[in-house]
Structure formats: structure tokens, C-alpha cells
Amino acid sequence: MAWGAIATWRMAHEGVEQALRLLAENEQAGNAVEVLIKTVEDYPYYKSVGYGGLPNAAGILEMDAAYMDGDSFKIGAVAGIQDVKNPISVAKKLSEEKFNSFRVGDGASAYAMLEGFERKNMLTRRAHRIWEKRLEEIRVHNLNPYDGHDTVGAITLDKKGSMAVGTSSSGLFMKEPGRVGDSPLSGSGFYVDSEIGGAAATGLGEDLMKGCLSYEIVRLMGEGFSPQAACDKAVYGFHEKLTRRYGKAGAFSLIAMNNKGEWGVATNVEFTFSVGNAQNEPQIFLANKGENQTTIIEPITKEWLEAYEKRIKAPID
Amino acid sequence: MAWGAIATWRMAHEGVEQALRLLAENEQAGNAVEVLIKTVEDYPYYKSVGYGGLPNAAGILEMDAAYMDGDSFKIGAVAGIQDVKNPISVAKKLSEEKFNSFRVGDGASAYAMLEGFERKNMLTRRAHRIWEKRLEEIRVHNLNPYDGHDTVGAITLDKKGSMAVGTSSSGLFMKEPGRVGDSPLSGSGFYVDSEIGGAAATGLGEDLMKGCLSYEIVRLMGEGFSPQAACDKAVYGFHEKLTRRYGKAGAFSLIAMNNKGEWGVATNVEFTFSVGNAQNEPQIFLANKGENQTTIIEPITKEWLEAYEKRIKAPID
């Protein structure tokens, strides 16, 4: 049987490797996607997800996450949750609830504590220092404060044909308290149907929720489009529509996998992702928007990876 | 030119009447939908929206609302907001923001206060008493605590062809703190595209967000389906799919209007709504699921209305 995993950004690669090892050993899609995303949440140098994530404008680290089961459509989600080690695990647990399965703010944090999830101060000294520096830059140079919104979104397919999707994010850097993006929002940040496939998003949440692109990509795959054709059609079609109607489209990148393990991506900015399946070892690729609603996808170079490694670990003065 | 307004539940009727008067006088769709929903939020006997809304399991009234502009796709939303007179107005204001336009919990309430929105203790004595009684009933009879989730959702079309949609809700009665339903979620609770039409939902949010039905109905109208055919296809198709895959579908009802002022609804429970347009005076209808993916729609009877009036104002012992 086919199996596979795909996830947004180079940061997800080690998680994709782990997920694929598990899937090869008959692990369930839901557990594999949780492990994948926990790997990203736990790594301190990724500053947009989990531990090490950058705080909001008030200096508080608020996180969003969601989980969806493609067999049953069960969804669990949290937004603005604080001080919990693995938001994805809280979301997955919430997906078992028939009621109250999307929790925000203090209610989300309280749920995690009551359910015994590990409490952790998720704000690293490094993240705090980056935040301080940024505040100063904004003040001195009168900058637009908002950049950086690298959600981890991931889709897994297991040998039994079940699929799952998960997302996790600390959201837009310098966001206002309580700001929520697309990551915990079904249809915008993620969607999966095991009879078809799944999709997940990263980018400017405020614009992603205007388009419901994850739902649309899954729907197009259900109509017979390949994952790549579905991503191209949905993403570039919406990019054009939003530019025409709203004036400007923010950055966004979508990934998709169908229930044969075939995959696709589309993006309006330079975008990295990691993917592997029963046939192909996990690999990091670089994607860019091409001409005529197409995507240019190439393997990542050694130089790119070395520069990335250096960048994320560079000293913060 | 065509214009019109449609909204969920009998409670929205006076708001629909007001919105239609405004639209006849060339008011913008966005302002008309705001007035419509404020009328429902302000009325103390509607216990699922705004003032008089029922509190959560902890006795706190937390409200959700959203606004979407069908010309530009601008969206503003709040969830778990407290102590603000008109959540819909906060959502509409947020829709003007390019960033931070969806705010939850304390961050949402703080935004409303900073922006000068009227602060109000939204918990009435009557709502508090209903909550106390319900707690006692749950304790004594070991009841499932969850029922009642009558969101107001409304769509307006103005003479210039612009459309808007809004939602407002105090959410599931006896919800856990921070629980969010579909009402503030684009694609699930609402969606609108002025070049096509709009849709909005009421019902069990946890299940509505599994289907992205508002987006799907607008998409189907864009493919040429009438609002009624689009509602029937999306709602009953998803009801069957969810029953098959999840085991049981919660209650949900959807309304739609296209940019000619034609409308449709579909529902898996008894459902009332109010609608009017350039040709027809506003009127309350009763809808029920028919056979073979159809909806039975009939004008509300005088007896039904009188019983309703009595019921919502009945003394709470």
C-alpha cells in the first residue's frame, strides 16, 4: 500500500523523516502527524512554532494548532494557548470531543492543564531577545511590524489508507494579543478527507481565511485533479482574484497529498517543504511561482541548507 | 436593481425589516447587515445572541461574531469576547485591518475597549437564572448539557450589487470556557462573494466546521446553481457524508442569497428564517428537510408565532 508524508518548510524535514519511519512500520496517520509536528514544536531554533516561537506584541507567546482526522472529519483546535509544550497534542485530544473541540485563550490553556498536558515556559531567552530587538527596530525605523508566519502544516497517509493533517504556529510575529490566523481554521489552514486527500497552508492567515484554499484543494482532488494541478488552480486562481478584489495578496503556500501518496504544492513566495512516500526517501524541495499558473519545484541545494542552518542559529546581539 | 436580506431564525425578523428599509434607501450592504444583527444582539429575550445570551459552564457570557465584505473579501471576527454591547460592530471594524483581524479571548475584549466600543454587562438576570436552573437539571437528571446554538447569520445585497454577511452568537449553551463554534470561522459559519452570493450557518459548530458548507454553497452558486439547489446539494450531501463517516450529524441549517436577491435554505432540523427582497416584503418562513435532498418551506403560522412569543418570555421560576 501507498503511504507518505508532506510538510511545510525546511524546519519540518526531521519530523517528516520520523513520520515516514513510523508509517513504514504501520503506524496510524494521526499518530505520525502528531510526532511530525511535535518534532518541530520541540526544536528551539524554529521561531514560528512551539518552543522558541516569537511572542506577540505584548511579549506573550500565544500558539495556535489544529488536528483533523480524514476518516471521520474529527477536528480539534486551539488558539491563543499558552505555556503548553505541545499544542498539536492538545488539538489532537480535543478532536475526540463531540462538543467544545475548538478552544481559545485562557479556556484552551485551562483545558490543557486539566487534561494533564505538560506545562512549559515556551518563551526562550533567544526568542525574547529577538522580540526586544524587533521592538527597537520598529521604533527607530518606523517599520511595518509584521513579517514571519511560518506555520508547520503536515499531511500523512498510512498503509491502511487513513489520512490526517495537523498545523502548529506561534502566529504572525508581533501580532496583537489574541490574534488568530488560519492555522486552527478548518478549510483555510487545513482539510483532509481520507477518501480523497489532504491540504494545509502557511502564510498570511488574514488573507488565507479569505479563500478557504485547503478545502478547495481537497475538493479539486476529489474532482480528479492531481495534487499539483489542484494546488496550482486553487492557489494561483485565488492569488489573482484577491489581487483584483482586495488590492494585494499576502504571502501564502499550500501543500497537498492525495490518498495514493502523490503530492503537490503551490506558492506565491519562495517556499521550502519536505516530502517522502513509499517510493521516495524524504527530501527537501524549494518551490517558486512559475508562469501560467504553474509551480517550479527543485531539490534544495547544499548551499541553501548551510546558509539556513547558519541563519537560524546566528547569534542575536 | 435587486436588493435583499435573509437571516437565520424568527428572532432576526425585525432586523431583516430594518435592513430592507435601509437597503431600499440605498444603504450599503455592510451597514445594513450590521444594523440587522445589532437588532438581534440588543433584544434581551433572545438567549443565544448578544444581550440576554446564556453564559458558559463557568457562568461567563462569551460571544463570537464575524463580518465579511463580499466586494473585497475583507473579514473581521471575534471569539470569546466579553462585556461588549455589539460584537458584530467589533468584527466589522476589525475587517478594516490588514493584520490582526481575527481576535479571541482577552485580546478581543481589550481591542473593543481600546477602540471605544460600548462596554456592557451582557448577562441578564433572566439568562443567569436559566443557567442556574439548567445546572440543577443537569445535576439531577444527568442530562447532556448541550443544546441551543441559535446563531444569527445574515446576508444582505444592496442596490449597487455589493453583498455582506455577518454572524453573532453566544455559542453552545453550557459550553466550556473558550469554546468556539463555526460562527466566526470563514467558510464554515459564513462566506460571501459579491460576484456570486453569500451563505451563513447556524447549528452545531463542531460539526459545521467539518464541512465548510458556507464556502461550498457560494461555490455552487458560482457554478450556476440556484441558491436553493446549492443549499440542498451542499447541506444534504454533507449530512449524509457525516452520518456515514462520523456516525451522527449534529443539527445545522444554512441560508443563502445570490446577487440577484434570490434565496434558498436547507436544514436537517425544524428551522425558521426571515427574508425579503425588492419584490417581496420580509416574511418569516418555516423550513424542514424533505425527501430526496429537498427542503419543505412554508410561511409561518400565526399560532406558531404566538407560541414562540409566549415561550421566549415565559417566567423562569
pLDDT digit string, tens, across residues B146-202:
776 689 999 999 999 999 999 999 999 999 999 999 999 999 999 999 999 999 999
Q: Which of B73, B186, B191 sits opposite A246 (nearest CB)?
A: B73
Count of beta carbons in the 10 Å neighbourhood of residue A2: 17
Contacts of B180 in chain A (CB under 8 A): 79, 102-104
Chain B: residue whose CA lies nearest to A109: B178
Confidence (pLDDT) at A148: 67
Chain A: residue whose CA lies nearest to B68: A210
* A268, A231 Cβ separation under 8 angstroms: no
pLDDT digit string, tens, across residues B53-74:
999 999 999 999 999 999 999 9
* B95, B72 Cβ separation under 8 angstroms: no
Mutate which of A174, A206, A244 to disrupt the B interface (most B C-beta within 10 Å)?
Answer: A206
ipTM of the complex as predicted: 0.97
pLDDT average, residue stretch A138-153: 83
C-alpha cell at A28: 496510524
B84, β-bridge pairs: B119
Distance from CA of A67 to the nearest CA of B (A): 12
pLDDT average, residue stretch B78-103: 98
Q: Is pLDDT at B145 greater than 90 in this prediction? A: no
A197, β-bridge pairs: A193, A258
Confidence (pLDDT) at B146: 77
Cα angle A97, B11, B87; round to 5? 65
The DSSP secondary-structure symbol of B118 reads P
CA–CA gap between residue A4 and residue A277 (Å, rounded): 4
pLDDT digit string, tens, across residues B214-253:
999 999 999 999 999 999 999 999 999 999 999 999 999 9
Cα angle B156, B109, A181; round to 5? 70
* B193, B214 Cβ separation under 8 angstroms: no
Chain A: residue whose CA lies nearest to B67: A210
Confidence (pLDDT) at B59: 95
Mean of all residue pLDDT scores within chain A: 96
* A177, B110 Cβ separation under 8 angstroms: yes
Neighbouring residues of A299: CB distance < 8 A, sequence distance ≥ 6 = A283, A284, A285, A286
* Percent of chain B predicted with pLDDT > 90: 95
Cα angle A173, B78, A65; round to 5? 50
- The confidence band for A306, taking pLDDT boundaries of 50, 70 and 90, is very high
Helix (H) or strand (E) holding B311: helix B302-313
pLDDT digit string, tens, across residues A112-142:
999 999 999 999 999 999 999 999 998 888 7
Neighbouring residues of B92: CB distance < 8 A, sequence distance ≥ 6 = B30, B34, B67, B76, B166
pTM tops 0.90: yes
* Percent of chain A predicted with pLDDT > 90: 95
CA distances, B51 to each of A180, B137, B169 (Å): 25, 24, 10
* A40, A55 Cβ separation under 8 angstroms: no
- The confidence band for A34, taking pLDDT boundaries of 50, 70 and 90, is very high
Contacts of B102 in chain A (CB under 8 A): 179-181, 205-206, 209
Q: Which of B100, B185, B204 sits opposite A186 (nearest CB)?
A: B185
CA–CA gap between residue B119 and residue A96 (Å, rounded): 36
Confidence (pLDDT) at B168: 98
pLDDT average, residue stretch B251-257: 97
Count chain A–chain B contacts defined by CB atoms under 8 A: 163
SS3 A245: helix
Distance from CA of B284 to the nearest CA of A (A): 30
Cα angle A87, A91, A96; round to 5? 150
Q: Is pLDDT at A111 greater than 90 in this prediction? A: yes
pLDDT digit string, tens, across residues A193-210:
999 999 999 999 999 999
* B80, A105 Cβ separation under 8 angstroms: yes
* B90, B78 Cβ separation under 8 angstroms: yes
Contacts of B186 in chain A (CB under 8 A): 185, 187-188, 209-210, 212
Q: Look at A210 and B75 and tell me if their CB atoms are within 8 Å.
A: yes
pLDDT digit string, tens, across residues A61-109:
999 999 999 999 999 999 999 999 999 999 999 999 999 999 999 999 9
Confidence (pLDDT) at B186: 98
Distance from CA of B305 to the nearest CA of A (A): 31
Q: Look at B186 and A181 and tell me if their CB atoms are within 8 Å.
A: no
Question: For the packed helices B87-94 and B29-42, what is the interaxial angle rounded to 10 degrees?
Answer: 150
- Per DSSP, the residues of B8-29 read ESGGGHHHHHHHHHHHHTT--H
Residue A88 sits at φ, ψ, to 5 deg, of -60, -35
Residue B247 sits at φ, ψ, to 5 deg, of 110, -40
Q: Look at A97 and B206 and tell me if their CB atoms are within 8 Å.
A: yes
List domains and CATH numbers for chain A: 4-313 (3.60.20.30)
SS3 B290: coil
CA–CA gap between residue B40 and residue B16 (Å, rounded): 10
Q: Which of A73, A176, A187 sits opposite B187 (nearest CB)?
A: A187
Q: Residue A123 burial (CB < 10 Å; 0-12/13-18/19+)?
A: buried
- Per DSSP, the residues of B121-168 read ----HHHHHHHHHHHHHHHHH----------EEEEEE-TTS-EEEEEE
Confidence (pLDDT) at B28: 98
- The confidence band for B110, taking pLDDT boundaries of 50, 70 and 90, is very high
Distance from CA of B76 to the nearest CA of A (A): 9
Confidence (pLDDT) at B52: 94
Distance from CA of A263 to the nearest CA of B (A): 23
Residue B271 sits at φ, ψ, to 5 deg, of -145, 130
Q: Look at A107 and B108 and tell me if their CB atoms are within 8 Å.
A: no
Residue B91 sits at φ, ψ, to 5 deg, of -60, -40
pLDDT average, residue stretch B262-272: 97
In angstroms, how far is CA B166 from the centroid of its own chain? 7
Q: Which of B97, B212, B246 sits opposite A187 (nearest CB)?
A: B212
* A224, A247 Cβ separation under 8 angstroms: no
Q: Is pLDDT at A180 greater than 80 in this prediction? A: yes
Q: Look at B99 and A246 and tell me if their CB atoms are within 8 Å.
A: no
Count of beta carbons in the 10 Å neighbourhood of residue B18: 18
Confidence (pLDDT) at A28: 98
C-alpha cell at A306: 548551510
**Nearest in space to B163 (alpha carbons), one of B255, B69, B226, B55:** B69
Parallel, antiparallel or unpaired: strands B4-8 and B152-157: antiparallel
Helix (H) or strand (E) holding A128: helix A125-141
Mutate which of B180, B215, B223 to disrupt the A interface (most A C-beta within 10 Å)?
Answer: B180
Chain B: residue whose CA lies nearest to A100: B179
Confidence (pLDDT) at B148: 67
Confidence (pLDDT) at A275: 98
Confidence (pLDDT) at A228: 98
Q: Which of B106, B108, B186 sits opposite A209 (nearest CB)?
A: B186
